[in-house]
Amino acid sequence: MRYCERYKSHHDASRKLKRRFAAGTDKAEYLAGLLNGPADRPRVVYLHVPFCNKVCGFCPFHRPDSFSRREYDKYLIGGIRELAAYEYSRAPVNAVNFGGGTPTALSPAQMARVLAELHNSFDIPPGTEISVETSVTELTDEMLSALKEGGVNRLSVGVQTFDDASRRLLNRRGSGAAAAERIRRAISFGFVNTGIDLIYNYPDQTPELLERDIDTIKSLNLAGVSFYSLMLHEGTPLYKRLTQTEKAVMADLERERGFFFQILDGLSAAGFKVFELTKLIRDGLDRYDYMRVRHGGGSCLAVGSGAGGNIGNYVYSNSPGAENIGADIKISSRGRVVSDDYMIIDEFINELQKTAVDLSAYSRRLKLDLNALLGSALGEMADGGLVQIGRSGVRLTRDGLFFGNNIIDELVGLIINVV
Ligand SMILES: C[S@@+](CC[C@H](N)C(=O)[O-])C[C@H]1O[C@@H](n2cnc3c(N)ncnc32)[C@H](O)[C@@H]1O
Ligand code: SF4
């Protein structure tokens, strides 16, 4: 087998890229030039809420900091106003996304105030995707009303599993039946574009348990399903709790592969299509503009503690405690100006995440002959049944989908060696 360890996340696929490509340009000068002029590309707004009401045993994303939750809406509103003041922010934005943590850990009234300020400060045309990550327990009728009023039209609900015993293992609140009920309620409220996150390959999972989750999903009329193979992160309560035997069960690639294709095949039969390596969508219901623009050459204006984004080629993070670049440029100084090649390779990664890429187009953009550079590796991958090589580029096969992040990592490694 070409890969004996499977990379499970898009972070693995872009790890090599992240280490390289500082352009050596002065941040303040670069940003002053960009922010004080009209937008040069599509832009999305990302708002980060670093709180959760209960920390899940497996999760590495929960990094609380010193903010008071009760004051956090004011903090976000301040951040929105600062960013919206630049000429760069004036043209209509292409998508808005609230992530976390759990954005709905804020109260409905706080969410309503933040959404009102977004509409006040930015030009958000009707129909623009406004997306909120949430978990079922915070999705009360009051919260659904506040989100609807504020123009939210896409929900991404962290469910992980509908099985009660498995929910307890993962430290998720509430029963699976209650989760399904809240999702039905959200959809009947008008949130047609509702998707869920599912975790698979946890120690006690069986094909029968997964089949029941798939059946529940089929009954829910969802727009999309993101499915993640459980990653064990050192330091998390789950990591500490599992025995060596349970960890070994999880490391069995054949078992993981069985679950992967059970989800893919089960949901394909119900009309879902592959949108990207870890996401299936039903036709026309979820465009996921936020991801498309953010990793398709756009800018991502980051608001909130812990938010990451990019303004043109300035890739930055609002890390807790980070200072602004200056009084005129109220953008976190924790970032770097990356080269154009970095941005192009980021797009390349994103396209392959969506399972196919046009090598000629990227050869032109990177001023490289990618067919020659990648030819030998791609030939071997094709022989191993992982990719198909056609006139218009490369497409992952069914087996290639399972190892998609490994394939991307390998190809990107070859590209960054020469640019
Ligand atoms: C950043 S979390 C935010 C979602 C929301 N807070 C919730 O949990 O309801 C996004 C998703 O990442 C996935 N995730 C988190 N930790 C994971 C892990 N250790 N392994 C695999 N997937 C994980 C979960 O499916 C989760 O819903
Ligand atoms: S999975 Fe979601 S709710 Fe759970 S700790 Fe992580 S961010 Fe919070």
Query: How far, in Å, is the centroid of ligand 1 from the Cα of 258?
Result: 21
Q: CB of 239 closer than 6 A to ligand 1?
A: no
pLDDT band at 290 (very low <50, low <70, confident <90, very high): very high
Q: CB of 53 closer than 6 A to ligand 2?
A: no
Which of these CATH numbers, 3.80.30.20, 3.30.70.260, 3.30.450.20, 3.40.50.720, describes 23-292?
A: 3.80.30.20
Whether 3 shows a pLDDT value over 90: the answer reads no
Rounded to whole angstroms, the Cα distance separating 148 from 191 reads 8
Cα 296 to the center of its chain, rounded Å: 14
Mean pLDDT of 314-339: 92
Rounded to whole angstroms, the Cα distance separating 155 from 153 reads 7
Contact 386, 3 (CB under 8 A): no
Q: CB of 56 closer than 6 A to ligand 2?
A: yes
HSE-CB of 150 using CA atoms within 13 angstroms: 26
pLDDT in tens, 15-65: 666 656 665 678 999 999 999 999 999 999 999 999 998 888 888 766 666
Characterize 152-190 residue by residue with b for buried, 16 or more Cβ atoms within 10 angstroms of its Cβ, and e for exposed: bbbbbbbbbbbbeebbebbbbeeebeebbebbeebbebe
pLDDT in tens, 65-117: 677 889 999 999 999 999 999 999 999 999 999 999 999 999 999 999 999 99
Query: How far, in Å, is the centroid of ligand 2 from the Cα of 193?
Result: 21
Ligand sitting nearest the alpha carbon of 160: 1
Name the architecture of domain 1-21+339-419.
Orthogonal Bundle (1.10)
* Arithmetic mean of pLDDT over the chain: 93
Neighbours of 145 (CB within 10 A): 13
Parse the chain into domains and list their residue ranges: 1-21+339-419, 23-292
Please give the share of the chain, as a percent, with pLDDT higher than 70: 96
Rounded to whole angstroms, the Cα distance separating 11 from 405 reads 9
Strand positions, DSSP E, 33-135: 43-49, 95-100, 129-135
**pLDDT of res. 106:** 96
Mean pLDDT of 182-204: 96
Query: How far, in Å, is the centroid of ligand 1 from the Cα of 63?
Result: 13
pTM across the whole model: 0.94
HSE-CB of 13 using CA atoms within 13 angstroms: 23
Neighbours of 134 (CB within 10 A): 26
Strand positions, DSSP E, 50-143: 95-100, 129-135
Q: CB of 236 closer than 6 A to ligand 2?
A: no
Q: CB of 160 closer than 6 A to ligand 1?
A: yes
Q: CB of 100 closer than 6 A to ligand 1?
A: yes
Q: Whose CA is nearest to atom 2 of ligand 2?
A: 101
Contact 91, 85 (CB under 8 A): no
HSE-CB of 402 using CA atoms within 13 angstroms: 23
**pLDDT of res. 2:** 77
Contact 115, 122 (CB under 8 A): no
**pLDDT of res. 7:** 85
Rounded to whole angstroms, the Cα distance separating 198 from 158 reads 7
